[in-house]
Structure formats: C-alpha cells, structure tokens
Amino acid sequence: MSEQRNIEIGEKLRAARLAKGFTLDDIQQSTKIQKRYLNAIENGDFDQLPGDFYVRAFTKQFAQAVGLDADELLVNAPKEVIEPTTDLSNSRTDLDNVTRTGMDMEPTKADKIQSFVPKVIIGLLVVVVLVVIWVIANSLSTKTNSQQNADNSSVSVSSSKVNKADKIADSSSKASSKKKAAKKDKPADKEADLKIADGQVSGTGTSFAVTGADAISKGHTLVISSKNRTWVTVLVNGSSVVNQMIQAGDSKEVDIPANTTDVKVTSGFATGTSIQLDKQDVNIPASSNLTRNYNFTFAASSDAKGDN
C-alpha cells in the first residue's frame, strides 16, 4: 500500500472507532490484537506490523470491530496484501492469543506476571474453601449440641395445644387449596399466545415475524443481554429509543408501546448478544459478523412476514 493509502485507511478506522465510542483497549479486547499494532494501523504506519499477512488480517479485524466493510476498505490494496504469504515456521502464540511470526520469542515481563497470577488466585481460592468448610463444620457442631440440650429439657405438649396446631394446619391447607385454584383460573400472560418465527438471514440482517392476537394491540418488553461489552441501538417504528454501551454481563430492558409494527436492534458485538421478547428467547442464528441487525415485524395474522 502507498503511504497516503495507509493514512486514509487509518483515519477511516479511527473515525469509525470514535463514532462507536470505543477505545483502543476495547478493540484490543474484542480482536485480541495488541494495542501497539492497532495504534500503528490508525497512524498509517503499517511497517510496524509483522508482515503483509498481518496488514490485511489485522486491518480486516479492526474494520469489523468498528462496523466497517473490510473488503471495501482494502479494495485498492496491492496483490501482496490481498494474497499474502508469510513464513510461520518460527511463529508462536502469546498469552493474549495472538500468533506472531518469530517476533519477541523471549517471554516478556508481562508474560511472566500473567503466568504467575493464576497460581496466586488458585492458592487464595483453596484457602477460602478451607475456611468455609471449617465454618460450616463448626456451625453444624454447635447446632447439634443445642438441639440435644433442647430435647433433654423438652416437656409434654398439652392436648389443647395439639388441637390448636391441628386447626392451624387445617386452615393453612384450605388457604393453600384456594391459592392453587385461583392460580389455575388465572388467565394466561400476554406472552403465552405471542409467536416468534425463526429468523430469516440476509447479509448482516436477520428478520423475525412476530404474530399473535395481541401482537400489535398491546405493548411488549424487549430485553437485550450481552456477554461482551457492546454498543446497542434500538429503533421503534423508525424512531431511536436506545443508543448506548452495554457492559459485559449486563442487559437493557426496552418497553415496546402498543401499535408498534417494526423494531430494529443493532448490536456491535453480535456473537455475545441474546434477546428476549416478552420473556421468550429469540432464536438468533449463529453469525461470524461482529455487527448485526435484528428486525422484528409485528402482525396480528399468523402469516405475517419479516422484512430484512
């Protein structure tokens, strides 16, 4: 690539990253590419990368992480970048799961620290487990002694108390029966008749047809969860209602008002995203794309179809 082309690619990637609200640390975590290489790519200094193979591979991963079309970004790259070859005979995989072609073969100080930390954590866990076992054993021993003392000092129960206990038990039984009957007669929840069809995949989009008697006439609840830190947007009938970062392990609940016919969810890290609609899990097809759109079309008839 020419120097000017390198700079243009780096500027596009930086602009896309900032637009998503990501830091270089976020990109390093999602792509497993060292931050120094990401910084070199943004500065157009591709000579800092291990070789032509990694120029394309790293740039493509960077582009996917910020939602750009990697193939379009590298469309004018020279042949040695499009069809790269590299000698991997001396390669190795570091602790950050990045393969390097014979570079930095000696373990760094950071590598040594990272290899030592798990041992310390395991040792602390063993100590905690032993302490918990001791506390439980001591508690059980104390409880047993107290029970024995209570049994030795117990007295006979009078017939009046027995009758009172019987009445209480009978009353409790009747109350329980009434609760079960009331629960049995309770009408089904709103999500019981809501049907979510299997997703129809097209490009980076997946469409779901949502049908049922109350699909449009009543409101719904959408819950978006993510195993990874990701940027999420939600459009309801074309209007933006959510545009924010969801932290790893967190979820975002969105109220969908009545008379909604179209909901669009976009996730910047689709591989770790899950969605529930009215407590029903949405069957999301597996995808290698980092960024993905999920379109929900609501219709009262059972033959409704989703749009991509």
CATH 2.60.60 assigned to domain 195-299? The reply is yes
| From-to residues of CATH 2.60.60 in the chain | 195-299
- Average the pLDDT over each of 44-53, 105-114, 160-169, 237-246 and give the range with the smallest value: 160-169
What's the sign of the alpha-carbon dihedral 93, 94, 95, 96?
negative
How deeply is 271 buried, as exposed, middle or buried, from its count of CB atoms within 10 A (0-12, 13-18, 19+)?
Answer: middle
Per-residue model confidence as pLDDT tens digits over 200-219: 998 888 899 989 878 888 89
Per-residue model confidence as pLDDT tens digits over 53-98: 888 899 999 999 999 888 888 776 554 444 544 444 445 555 555 5
The Cα–Cα gap between 176 and 259 comes to 40
Architecture of the domain made up of 3-109: Orthogonal Bundle (1.10)
At residue 22, the pLDDT reads: 93
Give the best-scoring range by mean pLDDT among 33-37, 70-74, 290-294. Answer: 33-37
At residue 186, the pLDDT reads: 45
Q: Is residue 297 over pLDDT 90?
A: yes
Hey, how many other C-beta atoms are within 10 angstroms of the C-beta on 206? 24
- Average the pLDDT over each of 131-140, 174-183, 290-299 and give the range with the smallest value: 174-183
| From-to residues of CATH 1.10.260.40 in the chain | 3-109
Instruction: Tell me the average pLDDT across 257-264.
Output: 93
Share of the chain above pLDDT 90, in %: 35
For residues 264 and 227, is the Cβ–Cβ distance under 8 A? no
pTM reported for the whole predicted model: 0.38
At residue 65, the pLDDT reads: 92
Pairing of strands 205-211, 292-299: parallel
* 110/113: higher pLDDT: 113
Instruction: Tell me the average pLDDT across 168-191.
Output: 58
At residue 103, the pLDDT reads: 45
